[in-house]
Every structure is written in C-alpha cells, then in structure tokens.
Chains A and B, each alone.
Chain A
Amino acid sequence: MKPFPYAHVLVPAVFCAFAAATVAGAVIAAGSRRVIRGVCGLAMCCVGLAGLFYFLQSPFLALMEILIYVGAICVTIIFVVMLAEPEEAASSRARSRAWTGAALAVSVAAFAGLSWLGTSLPAPRSLAAGGDGSVKAIGVSLLTTYSMAFELISVLLLVAIIGALVLTRSGRDRP
C-alpha cells in the first residue's frame, strides 16, 4: 500500500499543532485576567489534548475529551459565568504582585521537577504490545473487569445530579 504523500512531514506538523494548542490553551486558561477568556483557553487546551490522545492511539478518548470537556464542562462554566458575573477585583496591587511571583515560583519548580522525572525515564521496551485499544476492547473490559467501577461511577453521577439540584434549589424564593 502506498503511504499518504508527505506523511513524514504532515504527521509531525499536525502533532506540533496539537501540542502548541495545548500549551497556548493552558497559558491562556491560567494567565488571563477575565474569566471568559480562561474558559476559552480551557476549551482550546482540551482540543489540543484530544489530538494528543489521538496520537496516543486512543481515538475513542479523543472523541470523549471533546464531547465531555468542550461540549459539557466548558459550556456549563460559560453558563455560570453569565449567571454570576465574576469580575476580578482590582484591589491590593502590591500584595497581588508578590503573590503572583510566589505562584510563578511554585509552578516553575513543579514543572522543573516533573520534567526532570519525565526525561530521566528508561526508553520504552516495545511499542506494539499485545491487545488492541479498540472500542470493542474498551467495552468488553468496562462490562467484565471493571463492571463494579462502572456501576459506582454511574451512581456517583446520579448523586452529583441530585446534589446539584438540591444545592441550587435552596434560596430560590428569595429575591
């Protein structure tokens, strides 16, 4: 079978585009001053992560990432932003600058430590090990090996729905 033309250039280019989307989305989500831009950064970061999941040979997870994170979580956060108008207070500038420096130092230290750990790993032995990561294999293991966890997480989601209803219902008749 003939490979796709320019595949040896196109595949790394697409990978780098997804990696750049992840990094830029994370920076926007963490550093922007307005909350709505942070939500958009989170959506961009999740699209990039979906591409990375595709490159990790799990296209089902890529679809689920877009469906759950971009389609459900970001939209829900945008609804709450519209309901609750969260503006950042422009007070206590001096203390805020020191606090930002401390936060930057902590996160840079965490990044340095984690990247040192990640780059000092041994090389992977074999890429194509046994079994396939297809949707059929996922479904079989969800319904056989992990059926208990599957049921537990459905109960957890039910509890979360009921809890959200109860929490937002109280105090509704107040002006």
Chain B
Amino acid sequence: MNDPRICDRPEVYLLLAAFVFAAGLYGLLRRRTLIGMLIAGELIFSAAALNVMTFNRFYAPKPAEGQVFVLFLMGLAAAEVCIALSIVIAVYRNYRSIQPQDIDELKG
C-alpha cells in the first residue's frame, strides 16, 4: 500500500480537491457579502481544475490535453471574475451596499 510515494497517488489529490470544493460550498452558503461568495466560487473552480489535472495525469493517456483544458478553465474563471466584480461595483454605486439581503427590489 505504501509502495508509491505520497505525491504519486491519485487519492491524495482527489481528497484535496474534495476538501477545497467542500470549503467553497461552505463559503458560498455562509458568506453574507457578494465578494465573499465570489471568492468561494473561485475555490470551487480551483477544485475542478485540480480534479481535471489529477485524472489527466493518472488515468488519461495524453498529458497535454488536460493542461489545455485547465488553461481554458482559468480563462473562463478570469472572465467570470471580471464581469462579477464590475456587477458588484455597479450594485454598490446604486445601493451603497453589497449585502445580498439589501438588494431585494426584484422580490415579488
């Protein structure tokens, strides 16, 4: 069982990715500010990237494909953060607050 080193076993990476995902989920549910929720979303993105790289390294035959996939994932995350932060700034300008419970004008 202990034959391969700790950095050559896929379970370690998968457990780390699961932990980062769970932390992101907890932060997304618990945080009360829009920026905190955005940070938690970034954690979930990172967990997905680590998962993709783990499966690509240990279970897929081609090493370059997973790296390309994770690069696209990072580009998507950057675009998402850019748009979300500009929405946060626009909301702050209109409401003078970025608490999600203050932004309730569309509530029925």
A residues in contact (CB < 8 Å) with B: 8, 11-12, 15-16, 19, 22-23, 26-27, 29-31, 35, 38-39, 41-42, 45-46, 49, 52-53, 55-58, 60-61, 64-65, 68-69, 72-73, 76-77, 80-81, 83-84, 86-89, 99-100, 102-104, 106-108, 110-111, 114-115, 117-119, 121, 124, 127, 129-134, 137-138, 140-142, 146, 149, 153, 156-157, 159-161, 163-165, 167-168, 170-172, 174
Pairwise interchain contact B53-A30, C-beta atoms closer than 8 A: no
Q: Which residues of B contact A124 (CB under 8 A)?
A: 10, 58-59
B106 beta carbon closer than 8 Å to chain A = no
Pairwise interchain contact B67-A146, C-beta atoms closer than 8 A: no
- Shortest CB-to-CB span from A174 to chain B, Å, is 7
Pairwise interchain contact B53-A56, C-beta atoms closer than 8 A: yes
Q: How far is the CA of A170 from the CA of B89 in the complex (A)?
A: 11
Contact of B36 among A19, A86, A163 (CB under 8 A): A86
Grouping DSSP codes into helix (H, G, I), strand (E, B) and loop, the B interface class, with mixed when no group exceeds half, is helix
Contact of B57 among A8, A23, A56, A118 (CB under 8 A): A56
Pairwise interchain contact B39-A121, C-beta atoms closer than 8 A: no
Interface size class of B (residues with CB under 8 A): 35 or more
- Shortest CB-to-CB span from A111 to chain B, Å, is 4
Grouping DSSP codes into helix (H, G, I), strand (E, B) and loop, the A interface class, with mixed when no group exceeds half, is helix
Using known A-B contacts A27-B23, A69-B46, A73-B77, determine if residue A84 contacts B35 with beta carbons closer than 8 Å. Answer: yes
Q: How far is the CA of A47 from the CA of B30 in the complex (A)?
A: 24
Q: Which residues of B contact A127 (CB under 8 A)?
A: 8, 58
Among B6, B17, B30, B101, the most chain A Cβ lie within 10 Å of the Cβ of B30
Pairwise interchain contact A121-B67, C-beta atoms closer than 8 A: no
